[in-house]
Structure 1
Amino acid sequence: MTILDTAPQTLPFVPVADRILVAGQWRQASGPAFAVTDPSNGETLQVIHQATADDADEAVRKGRASADDPAWRGLLPHQRAKYLHRIADAIEANTSRLALLQSYNTGKTVTETTALVGSAAGTFRYFAAVLETADDDLTTPRGNFLTMSVLEPIGVIGAIAPWNSPVASDAQKIAPALAAGNAVVLKPAEWTPLVSLELARLIDETGLPKGLLSVLPGKGSVVGDAIVTHPDVGKVTFTGGTNTGRSIAHAAADKLMPVSLELGGKSPTIVLDDADLDAAVNGVMFGIFSSTGQSCIAGSRLFVDRRIYDEFLEKLVAKTQRLRLGPGRDPDTQIGPMVHRRHRDSVAAYVDLAREEGGRVLCGGAIPDDERLRDGAYYLPTVIDGLPNSSRTCQEEIFGPVLVALPFDGEADLIAQANDSVFG
């Protein structure tokens, strides 16, 4: 039996330890207490004490020493791969725990979080396979010259993760960094630290050398800034908003430090006039309403050939209105709450803006009045049309279950509109 077969009321929340991982050592944080809430009802799941800038400094310094230790730095690629396989094994063995914990903390459906846990394990397997097939690059000799490219670790990677898919995003940052022989200092998102701390516990128990992983929940303005500006951090990987990414890029430029940034966007979904409309409706809904629209790659702008525009929207709206809202751990739920009521209110403000800009709300556009959803961070899945592509609603990332539909006339018009967006 899996958690998908279990009744919701039999799925209790089990807290994680209120500790942070600093260079392989678990301890109580000295920063302020933060109440981590269940977005399905607004109740406090548990209180986590946040890390401080001093914790980040210690994690980076000790991480650098661990990364430079010949016992780690001298490992052959296939030897590092064994650690990644052990981590993947631990993730797979704890799928139910990680999936349920993420559902409680983020509001995602258990179906989604189970898939994300599988993705996290797959990420570690992938980079293990990369190591098992890695080799130095030897170029073809030219005259008396022989050139060889040798890949070497950077040292300490600062990783700042988003709140929308913590376990998968954490894996995408930790796995390649360890594979390349680095240490990692991870700052989970302030709203969703629980599954990151649980993942850290599992990794720590696999026997990964102490000091190579630190997990520091806390504010971006405190812990994140301390990581980004630390002189011993050799690279930063960040997933989040474009404005924050821009600030990180500026700080990195001062240090001449490389960065990897996955930022905001307003991705187009396109329906041509010869499409199977029913199949296209399903695809459009999956693209925008999975993860309650809280995805960097959500298909939040819909372009439909004008010749089928009205017919397609009628089908889309009818099916959208039938989506079942509820807690993510309820197996009947098709769309869960957003991560936090504060974020829900931000999404609602964008829909109000759409109305002010002259848009038509074809469905949704409100906080549900269902008594059982009253205390959660729910918002009805929404479809809007009647706005020009230049409007703020069409240009700015809303990061919620809000789809803006626009007609197009021919290929040239489609390409021009689809590419006309600001993104990170």
Structure 2
Amino acid sequence: MFAHPETSVFSSWTDEILVAGEWRRGGGDLVESRDPATGEVVHAFHGASLEDVEAAVSGGLAAARDPAWRDLLPHQRAAMLHRIGDLIEERADLISAVQTADTGKTRKETRALALSAAGTFRYMAAALETMEEAVTPQRGGSLTMTAHEPYGVVAAITPWNSPIASDAQKIAPALAAGNAVVLKPPGWAPLVSLLLGRMAEEAGLPAGLLSVLPGSGSVIGNALVAHPKVGKVSFTGGTTTGRTIGRVAADKVMPVTLELGGKSPTIVFPDADLDQALAGVLFGIFSSSGQSCIAGSRVFVHADVYDDFVDRLVEATRKLRVGRGTDPDTDVAPLVHHRHRDEVAAMVDQAVSEGATVLVGGHAPEDRELEDGAYYLPTILSGVTNEATICRDEVFGPVAVVLPFSSEEELVTQANDNEFGLACGIWTGDYRRAYRVARAIDAGTVWINTYKQFSISTPFSGHKASGLGTEKGREGIKSYMRQKSLYWDLTGEPMPWGRH
């Protein structure tokens, strides 16, 4: 069953998931993780059932209410997060190998994701130790203050494009806040989430505070969102699913954090360092094989440099090496699944039928060594306007569209003319222009002369259909808490009411 020696870690727990502190066979359908580079099964096991959901939520609520967890002081809970972070860093190579086998990503990227996850646990630990409540200004005879308390059970639903980093961005702040977490990992890439569950257990996290329930989003995910004992849902994924979660949350009057899709513009002005811009545009769209919500998939290039820049972009794209994630020379690895590869190909074919011109790529590689994998060549399209379907819908693959513009005003209008508002890249040597355009673009994150750079200390959010709520940053912990106000009478006098 184990096509990769590095995934032999699973052989000792062949058919187990984590349910409220117990490793046991899931009651759901068989889940198969396949190596996108070959199509071979990496690991197969039974996913969660609705009964597992009930057990995980009920067990999580009991664990969250247990004084052994509930009454821990912040520095004590932070110590637990530090231990998890340390274990992740110690096993970064193993995590990287498992995630590459599960998702197809390059080992360089999966190792960086593992180290990012370790940093997330450590940052949230530090933020927890230094988090303060507020004594608010008195307006009468009472001392007034605020307190923040956990929701109880948080459902975390994560995507397949960066599993362990996304897991950490939800689990670490939710645990720091005092909650239990039920994690629903992606069906196409669940293995690292199960490995993380093992490491949390080894670090000493009390049983029940973390469950890992692989399975169908339409069954397990929906059950978690609708469960009356789940106090908050944090979801990263597609906008259509996010809207469905939002409707259920509205009926429950439940808070949600939604990190959704994007169709991010990357803008090249004529005064930009074109070498720097070229490298940034390539990285912004083709790293992660384009499987990124923040991918710079709409490349706006000023008319004065359009021809030269696009020629250079096409030539550089043609030189990118497509191959297995285990090959250190690979630039563009396979997509996560053959079905997803076919969806990307269909969107490119539709764009061509609507008038787009393929400048490079536009099909699966013809190399026989790659024919069994879910590969798609890095692709650049031109010849369409910003109104074309390929410029409106998220592809989630290595596909960019180049679009000329003539004026800053025209550029801002086109860049904002989209339902999404997740990210943007600006390439210019004029700091005044950079600031002006950055403030005019409707997006949660704007990079200036760089792209896809992140810091756990810096909040991340989406505008418009790209999301709701904020992750990361010092306030990331409080997003998993409810605020309470306290009034303490200082006068000792009875209420001045009803006395005659």
Scaled by the length of structure 1, the TM-score of the pair is: 0.96
Which residue, out of 151, 155, 160, partners 1:163?
A: 160
Shift of 1:140: 2.7
Counterpart residue number, 1:14: 8
Provide the rounded CA distance (Å) in 2 between the counterparts of 1:353 and 1:36. 30
1:173 maps to a residue whose letter is K
Which residue, out of 157, 178, 192, partners 1:181?
A: 178
Query: Is 2:267 the partner of 1:273?
Result: no
Which residue, out of 122, 133, 145, partners 1:136?
A: 133
Counterpart residue number, 1:28: 25
Which residue, out of 346, 352, 357, partners 1:355?
A: 352
Which contiguous aligned blocks of 4+ residues in structure 1 show a shift greater than 3 angstroms? Answer: 9-13
User: Is the Cα–Cα contact under 8 Å of residues 133 and 148 in structure 2 kept in the other structure?
Assistant: yes
Shift of 1:30: 2.1
Provide the rounded CA distance (Å) in 1 between the counterparts of 2:346 and 2:213. 32
1:153-175 deviation digits (Å, cap 9, x = unpaired): 11000011101000000001100
Counterpart residue number, 1:405: 402
Query: Is 2:190 the partner of 1:193?
Result: yes
Shift of 1:34: 2.0
Provide the rounded CA distance (Å) in 2 between the counterparts of 1:202 and 1:75. 21
Provide the rounded CA distance (Å) in 2 between the counterparts of 1:389 and 1:231. 43
Provide the rounded CA distance (Å) in 2 between the counterparts of 1:407 and 1:134. 47
User: Is the Cα–Cα contact under 8 Å of residues 6 and 98 in structure 2 kept in the other structure?
Assistant: no
Provide the rounded CA distance (Å) in 2 between the counterparts of 1:143 and 1:358. 69
Q: SS at the partner of 1:198?
A: helix
Which residue, out of 332, 338, 341, partners 1:341?
A: 338
Shift of 1:145: 3.5
Scaled by the length of structure 2, the TM-score of the pair is: 0.82
Provide the rounded CA distance (Å) in 2 between the counterparts of 1:296 and 1:243. 14
Shift of 1:11: 6.3
Long gaps (5+) in structure 1: 1-8
User: Is the Cα–Cα contact under 8 Å of residues 15 and 45 in structure 1 kept in the other structure?
Assistant: no
Counterpart residue number, 1:221: 218
Structure number, greater radius of gyration? 2
Shift of 1:310: 0.6
User: Is the Cα–Cα contact under 8 Å of residues 15 and 46 in structure 1 kept in the other structure?
Assistant: no
1:237 maps to a residue whose letter is S
Shift of 1:135: 1.6
Query: % of aligned pairs identical?
Result: 59
Shift of 1:33: 1.1
Query: Which stretch of structure 1 is more off in the superposition, 25-34 or 281-290?
Result: 25-34
Q: SS at the partner of 1:151?
A: strand
Provide the rounded CA distance (Å) in 2 between the counterparts of 1:385 and 1:346. 20
1:89 maps to a residue whose letter is D
Matched ranges for 1:79-94 at <5 A:
79-94=76-91
Long gaps (5+) in structure 2: 421-465, 467-500
Counterpart residue number, 2:373: 376
1:334-390 deviation digits (Å, cap 9, x = unpaired): 110000000000000011011011111100000111000000000000000111101
Q: SS at the partner of 1:34?
A: strand
Shift of 1:15: 4.8
1:362 maps to a residue whose letter is L
Query: Is 2:257 the partner of 1:260?
Result: yes
Q: SS at the partner of 1:163?
A: coil
User: Is the Cα–Cα contact under 8 Å of residues 162 and 239 in structure 1 kept in the other structure?
Assistant: yes
Provide the rounded CA distance (Å) in 2 between the counterparts of 1:203 and 1:163. 20
Q: SS at the partner of 2:43?
A: strand
Provide the rounded CA distance (Å) in 1 between the counterparts of 2:278 and 2:132. 46
Provide the rounded CA distance (Å) in 2 between the counterparts of 1:416 and 1:316. 24
Counterpart residue number, 1:309: 306
1:47 maps to a residue whose letter is A
Provide the rounded CA distance (Å) in 2 between the counterparts of 1:22 and 1:244. 25
Identify, as 1 or 2, the structure richer in strand: 2
2:323 maps to a residue whose letter is G
The count of corresponding residues between Structure 1 and Structure 2 is 416
Counterpart residue number, 1:283: 280
**CA RMSD of the aligned region, Å?**
1.2
